[in-house]
Amino acid sequence: MTSPVFAVVGHPNKGKSSVVSTLAHDDSVGIAAQAGTTVACRAYPMRVDGELIYTLMDTPGFQRARRAWEWLQQQQVTAAEHRAAVVRFVALHRDSGAYPDECELLVPVLDGAGILYVVDGSLPYGPEYEAEMEILRWTGQPSLALINCIGIDDHVDDWKAALGQYFQVVRVFDAVNAPFRARLDLLRAFGQLEQSWSASLLRAVEILESERARQQHRAARAIGEMLADMLSKSTTRHLSTGDDPKQHHDALEREFMEKLRERERRGRVAVEGVYDHHLVERSETDVELLDRDLFSTDDWYFWGLNRRQLVTAGATSGAVVGGAVDATLGGASFFLGSVIGAAVGTATAVFGGSQLTQIKVLTLPLGGLLLQCGPTRHENFPYVVMGRALHHHRSLAGRTHADRTELALSDEPAVGLQQVDSDARKSLDAIFRRLRSGAAPHEVSDELTTLIEAIITAE
Partner 1 sequence: MVDQTDRVPTFAQLLDVAEQLQRDEPRADGELRRRDREIGRRVEGGRRGRVLAWLGEVRQEGESSATEAIRSRRLILSALVVLGFAFGVAASRVVFSYDGTRPVNTIEVLAVFVGAQALLVLTAIAMLPAGVRQRLPLVGVVQDGLAVFSPGRWQPALSQLLPQAQREAFDSVLGRGRIHQKLFGDVQKWAVLLGSQAFGVAFHVGTLAGCLYLVLFTDLAFGWSSTLNIESAELHAVTRTLSIPWASWFPEAAPSISLIDATHYFRLGGGKIGGLNLGGEGLGVATEAVSKTLDSIDPASLGGWWPFCVAAMVTYGLFPRLLMWVLARYRFAVAVGVAFDRLPGLADLVDRLDTPLVETSSPDAERIGSAGAIDPTLPRREVTARRCAIVNWAGLDLTDDALSSGIERALGLSVVCVTGAGGAHTMAEDRAVQRNLTEMHQQAELAIVVGVRSWEPPILEFVDFVTELRAELGDGVAIIVVPIALGSSGEPGAPLETDREQWQRRIDVVGDPWLSIRLLPEIPS
Contact 379, 154 (CB under 8 A): no
Q: How many residues does the chain have?
A: 459
Please tell me the distance from the alpha carbon of residue 385 to that of residue 232, in angstroms, as a whole number.
13
User: Per CB under 8 A, does 430 bind partner 1?
Assistant: no
Binding mask 358-397 for partner 1 (x = CB under 8 A): ----------------------------------------
Q: Of 7-15, 251-259, 350-358, 410-418, which segment contacts partner 1 by CB under 8 A?
A: 7-15
State how far Cα 78 lies from the chain centre: 54
Report the alpha-carbon distance of residue 167 to residue 385 in Å, rounded: 50
Which residue in 112, 164, 273, 352 binds partner 1 (CB under 8 A)? Answer: 273
Chain centroid, CA 458 distance in Å: 18
DSSP secondary structure letter of residue 148: E
Gap between the Cα atoms of 347 and 41, Å rounded: 83
CB atoms within 10 A of CB 401: 25
Residue whose CB is less far from partner 1, 25 or 160: 25
Check binding of 34 to partner 1 (CB under 8 A).
Answer: yes
Report the C-alpha gap between 234 and 230 in whole angstroms. 9
Residue 254 binds partner 1, judged by CB under 8 A: no
Measure the CA–CA gap between 234 and 226, rounded to whole angstroms. 14
CB of 318 to partner 1, least distance (A): 10
Asked if 40 interacts with partner 1 (CB under 8 A), we say yes
Residue of 157, 406, 443, 459 that binds partner 1 (CB under 8 A): 443
Q: Which stretch binds partner 1 (CB under 8 A): 62-70, 141-149, 192-200, 361-369?
A: 62-70
Residue 154 binds partner 1, judged by CB under 8 A: no
Helix (H, G, I), strand (E, B) or coil at 120: strand
Q: How many residues lie near partner 1 (CB under 8 A)?
A: 70
Q: Which is nearer to partner 1, 168 or 317 (CB)?
A: 317
Q: Which one-letter amino acid corresponds to residue 53?
A: I
Cross-strand pairs, 42: 58
Closest CA to 106 of 64, 44, 45: 64
Distance (Å, whole) CA 302 – CA 48: 57
Binding mask 83-112 for partner 1 (x = CB under 8 A): ------------------x-----------
Among 274, 280, 420, 428, binds partner 1 (CB under 8 A): 274
Which of 77, 87, 107, 123 touches partner 1 (CB under 8 A)? 123
Residue 77 engages partner 1 in binding (rule: CB under 8 A):
no
Nearer residue to partner 1 within complex by CB, 277 or 388: 277
Q: Which helix (H) or strand (E) holds 296?
A: strand 295-301
Residues 165-204 that bind partner 1 (CB under 8 A): none
Estimate to the nearest angstrom the gap between the alpha carbon of 118 and the chain centroid.
Answer: 29
Q: State yes or no: residue 332 binds partner 1 (CB under 8 A).
A: no
In angstroms, the CA 183 to CA 175 distance is 9
Question: What 3-state class would DSSP assign to 154?
Answer: coil
- Shortest reach from residue 44's CB to partner 1, in Å: 5
Q: Are strands 51-58 and 5-10 parallel, antiparallel or unpaired?
A: parallel
Residues 285-324 that bind partner 1 (CB under 8 A): 303, 305, 308-309, 312-313, 315-316
Residues that bind partner 1 (CB under 8 A): 11-13, 23-26, 28-30, 32-40, 42-50, 60-67, 70, 101, 123-124, 126-128, 130, 207-208, 211, 214, 218, 221, 225, 273-274, 276, 278, 303, 305, 308-309, 312-313, 315-316, 330, 439-443, 445
